[in-house]
Amino acid sequence: MKYEEKQSWLCNQIVTGARDAIIMADREGVIRLWNNGADKVFGFSPAEALGQSLHIIIPENLRERHDQGYDRVMASGRSKYATELLAVPALTKDGSRISVEFTITLIRDHQGRILGAAAIIRDVSARWEKERAMKRHLAELEAQVEQMGSLPL
């Protein structure tokens, strides 16, 4: 097996086996790659997701903002989310909202033209819920301490 074939096989194994969602959308925001991890995170099978707009996983109230940012990245060839983690709400097949974090990488052809963007996405809903519960508990404890401070001695 040639080096290029080994690399291609290895990349395919990584994408296919990853537990995180790995998706790629073309310049128009149409999904062209949807791995098994994306199926697990969002609930759509590859057959259901491929050829669909990214809107299937973007909450309606965020779609316009997403589209503006996506178009800007496709035109400029730059995104701060290639190096910074983005945390946003997302939608699953059943309409549930989940919390996800992701980074993107721009996909270019051999001449350097942008073909689209790929994202590696992780569902962080459980972690966010734990953090919210801890914040609520902390607020309750602070309120109790404040009440104790106002008691007569």
**pTM, 2 dp:** 0.80
Q: How many domains does the chain have?
A: 1
Of residues 141 and 29, the one with the higher pLDDT is: 29
- Indicate whether 152 belongs to any domain: no
CATH of the domain at 103: 3.30.450.20
- Indicate whether 6 belongs to any domain: no
Q: What's the domain range around 99?
A: 15-125
Kindly report, residue by residue over 74-98, the tens digit of the pLDDT. Answer: 999 988 777 888 899 999 999 999 9
Give the model's pLDDT for residue 133. 64
Single-letter code of the amino acid located at 48:
E
**How far apart, in whole angstroms, are the C-alpha atoms of residue 25 and residue 55?**
11
Kindly report, residue by residue over 19-68, the tens digit of the pLDDT. Answer: 999 999 999 999 999 999 999 999 999 999 999 999 999 999 999 999 99
- Indicate whether 23 belongs to any domain: yes
CB 85 within 8 A of CB 100: no
